[in-house]
Amino acid sequence: MREPLLIYGAGGLGREVLSLVRSLDQYEVIGFLDDNIPKGTLINKVKVAGGRDTLCTLDSPVNLVLAFGDPVRKSLLAAKIHSSKVHYPVIRHPSVILQDESTITIGAGSIICAGCILTTGITIGNHVLINLNCTVGHDSRIGDFSSVMPGVNVAGEVEIGKSVLVGSGANIVNRIHIGDGSKVGMGAVVIHEVDPGITVVGIPARKV
């Protein structure tokens, strides 16, 4: 019997997560949660069950995934959810390669999408999104609530802080530290340290 699962966020990423979960045998999506879409709205054959208040009415435990690309939105929402009945599973597409799985740690609520490759000695925090076709090299760390968008290449011994957004197609070279709350633009090539809370873009990536 499949475990019940709710997806918080019924936008584009939420629908992608729905399609990912449907490729797994473990979970059955019983509804979306969304604070901006009317209850009962049907999205890809799944109803919106309500917003955050719905979690306060749960009679039994449920799995929940936060389907938001914006790291700040994810962290703020997670801080407001206090139900003891909520569990955050790791959602991983069957095509994902964990090259040395025994040395890789993936935190609660993280989502790893199709085509990703993680090598060895890697630590992924809680509620991290690693989107389609990303690679993460040896001994790298990605902090809680960060989002790594499609086609990103993270080299070895990289440390990405908490609530970082890495844009599609970015490349991060070995031994780079990216500070908490920073943003890396699409297609950027990061060859220098990135201070907390700033945005870098370009080749090589520079502060804007």
- pLDDT value at residue 59: 85
Residue of higher predicted confidence among 57 and 145: 145
For 133-152, the pLDDT digits (tens) are: 999 999 999 999 999 999 99
Task: Return the structure tokens found at 127.
Answer: 């509620």
- DSSP code at position 17: H
List of long-range contacts for 161-169, beta carbons under 8 Å, 24+ apart? 161/196, 162/71, 162/75, 162/125, 163/71, 163/72, 163/74, 163/75, 164/71, 165/69, 165/70, 165/71, 168/131
- pLDDT value at residue 122: 98
The pTM for the full model equals: 0.97
Rounded Cα distance, 123 and 202, in Å: 27
Look at residue 156 and tell me whether its pLDDT is greater than 90.
yes
Average pLDDT on 27-39 reads 96
Are 113 and 29 in contact, with CB atoms under 8 Å apart?
no
Rounded Cα distance, 184 and 90, in Å: 25
Residue 115's nearest CA partner among 16, 36, 185, 197 is: 16
Average pLDDT on 142-171 reads 98
- pLDDT value at residue 84: 87
Residue of higher predicted confidence among 58 and 9: 9
CA quadruple 106, 112, 117, 120: dihedral, nearest 10: 0
